[in-house]
Amino acid sequence: MLCLTVGEVVHGGWCVARMEDTGWVVFVRHCLPGERIRAQVTQVTSRFARAEAIEILSPSPERVQPPCPYAGPGRCGGCDWQHASLPAQRGLKAAVVRQQLSRLAGLDREVDVEVVPGADSGLGWRTTVSFAVDSDGRAGLRRHRSREVLPVSECLIAHPLVTAAGVTGRRWPGAEAVEVSAVPETGERGIVLAGRSPAALAARPELADLPAAAADSVLLEGRSGRRTPVRGRGYLTRTAAGRNWRVSLGGFWQVHPGAADLLADAVLAALEPRPGESALDLYCGAGLFTGVLARAVGAGGTVVGIEEDAGAVRDARHNLREWPWARVHHGDAGAVLRRLGVGTAAMAVLDPPRTGAARPVVDRLCDPDTPLRAIAYVSCDPATLARDLRLLLAGGWRLDGLRAFDAFPMTHHVECLAVLARAG
């Protein structure tokens, strides 16, 4: 047991404290900067220790009672900041973004984390939730940094439509995970059941007994990633940027109900596409940014999307049918760019996975012979964003703008949009 004074927040939902006698670094959860705490050590390495605050001796004025009974030391690992007020959460996220930009990219920049419309309380916003299943077939959420499943009755950050599917009130023998997705605008709902053997899952009577009200569509997914529809269309119809978008169950879409619209508008405002221009959409997913760019450049322009996931490519090609000057290539972004080149593209948008953009992609964007004038980089991880910004700045770009959005309330995650222009 340690008695500590908590220091600054760091990436991942931790705060830093130091042992008073040795200066040993301790990363602590469930605390806030400035608090005096008692902490239980959970891990010791050669360089630092990890711990959880189990008693708050001197609380921060920003501390609140966590609304969820599963939030706290040793419990669910999904939410990091339920013990902080919403304004304080946004302040913590802004501090982390500033810290990562300074440490990894050498940038000193003020950051304001903006509210995303649609979840004023910070609860009930998550439109896709993946529940883990324990050996008894009970659905729950994993404890922090653990494979152990904590059975829950309800996840408070889940959208009410997700909760209404009743996943935690049923048994799922043979399944390893149950992912529920919902569309607030239509009430549509889908379930992806993942397990070692989709055939064995399909034969389970529990699946046959799943009421139609629980899900409009159900998919089975094996460890190979192959998905087999067993009910419904196998996709959901999402709404953003004034139109509908087909997104396969298990495919990527922003989980906050207000995020897709907000990001589409922000990317357009950042890039300022003009009629007749050409654009790239790297890691294009179901084609949201490809579509809004295609609508902006018009039939005299071109938009090229690149996506590695085959299901997302099918969705994107379906979604972009009304804009024949937009096309989508299937493959690794770096490999496709190496084959096609940038062409005449004046702008590029990137929305890579949490691991960030692949180095060959960054290198291609830094080629001084390309006609690119602007880049919009959408990121859900400030550390990999800062890493890639460092490379882009060294490659002849300058950071013209940075916005951050609280698209994941109660968690440490934050969505960022970096806008870059050619240096000079």
- Cα–Cα distance measured from residue 225 to residue 9, given in angstroms and rounded to the nearest whole number: 37
Q: Do domains 2-63 and 255-422 have the same CATH topology?
A: no
Residue 226, pLDDT > 90, answer: no
Structural domain boundaries in the chain: 2-63, 128-237, 255-422
pLDDT at 208: 75
Reported as a pLDDT band with limits 50, 70 and 90, residue 207 is: confident
Reported as a pLDDT band with limits 50, 70 and 90, residue 227 is: confident
Class (C level, CATH) for 255-422: alpha beta
- CATH architecture of the domain formed by 2-63: Beta Barrel (2.40)
Residue 205, pLDDT > 80, answer: no
pLDDT at 314: 98
Is 60 within 8 Å of 32 (Cβ atoms)?
yes
Residue 424, pLDDT > 80, answer: no
- Cα–Cα distance measured from residue 325 to residue 300, given in angstroms and rounded to the nearest whole number: 8
Q: Which of 31, 79, 155, 380 is catalytic?
A: 380
Question: H or E element: which one contains 264?
Answer: helix 259-271
106 or 211: which leads in pLDDT: 106
Q: Other C-beta atoms within 10 Å of 234: how many?
A: 19
Reported as a pLDDT band with limits 50, 70 and 90, residue 200 is: confident
pLDDT averaged over the chain?
95
Residue 408, pLDDT > 80, answer: yes
Contacts of 88 (CB under 8 A, 6+ apart): 32, 60, 62, 81
pLDDT at 405: 98
Reported as a pLDDT band with limits 50, 70 and 90, residue 150 is: very high
Q: Is 300 strand, coil or helix? A: coil
Reported as a pLDDT band with limits 50, 70 and 90, residue 198 is: confident
Residue 380 among the catalytic residues? yes
Percent of the chain at pLDDT exceeding 70: 100
- Cα–Cα distance measured from residue 161 to residue 158, given in angstroms and rounded to the nearest whole number: 8
Reported as a pLDDT band with limits 50, 70 and 90, residue 39 is: very high
Is 175 within 8 Å of 140 (Cβ atoms)?
no
Nearest to 151 by CA among 143, 159, 160: 143
Rounded mean pLDDT of 82-95?
98
Reported as a pLDDT band with limits 50, 70 and 90, residue 57 is: very high
Residue 225, pLDDT > 90, answer: no
Residue 402, pLDDT > 80, answer: yes
Is 422 within 8 Å of 269 (Cβ atoms)?
no
Count of CA atoms in the C-beta half-sphere (13 A) of 375:
31
Residue 21, pLDDT > 80, answer: no
322-347, pLDDT tens digit by residue? Answer: 999 999 999 999 999 999 999 999 99
For 234, phi then psi, to 5°, come to 85, 5
Reported as a pLDDT band with limits 50, 70 and 90, residue 1 is: confident
Rounded mean pLDDT of 255-260?
98
Is 414 within 8 Å of 93 (Cβ atoms)?
yes
Rounded mean pLDDT of 124-143?
97
- Cα–Cα distance measured from residue 302 to residue 57, given in angstroms and rounded to the nearest whole number: 60
For residue 149, give Cα distances in angstroms to 74, 152, 158: 11, 9, 17
Topology adopted by domain 128-237: OB fold (Dihydrolipoamide Acetyltransferase, E2P) (2.40.50)
pLDDT at 209: 79
- Assign 3-state DSSP to the chain and report helix, strand, coil percentages, each to 5: 25, 35, 45
- Tell me the residue ranges of DSSP E strands in 177-301: 177-182, 189-194, 217-221, 227-231, 235-240, 243-248, 278-282
